[in-house]
Amino acid sequence: MSQLTLVTRDGRHVLPVELNQTVVALAKKNKVVWGHACQRGVCAQCRTLVVEGAEYLNEVTNEEKLRLRKAERAEGYRLGCQIQIVREGDVQLAHRPY
């Protein structure tokens, strides 16, 4: 079974993968604190570094293209309210707000 590992200031949280839900929604559901406000790709409080498993995620959204610099996206930064796991596989994400 694939695992989603969320790394926060509290430590590591290992959850079962659930497809087609945002990382902010999954964190909330599993009571993991993952800062967020707008859930529309505007505030960037949910800024996330994709550590492992980018190939199992949805394509970068237009909201992420507008909000994050190209260099940040190249380093693997995305927005937790936009990321969804779309295929089974191990994914590790770290919460990295500004």
Q: How far is the CB of 1 from ligand FES (least distance, A)?
A: 27
Q: How far apart are the first and last CA of the chain?
A: 33
Closest CB to ligand FES among residues 33, 88: 33
Closest CB to ligand FES among residues 42, 51: 42
The identity of residue 39, as a single letter, is Q
With CB atoms as reference, the residue minimizing the distance to ligand FES is 81
Neighbours of 33 (CB within 10 A): 13
Q: How far is the CB of 32 from ligand FES (least distance, A)?
A: 14
The whole-angstrom separation of Cα 38 and Cα 6 is 20
Binding site for ligand FES (CB under 6 A): 36-39, 41-46, 79-81
> Do the beta carbons of residue 80 and residue 48 sit within 8 Å?
yes
Q: How far is the CB of 86 from ligand FES (least distance, A)?
A: 18
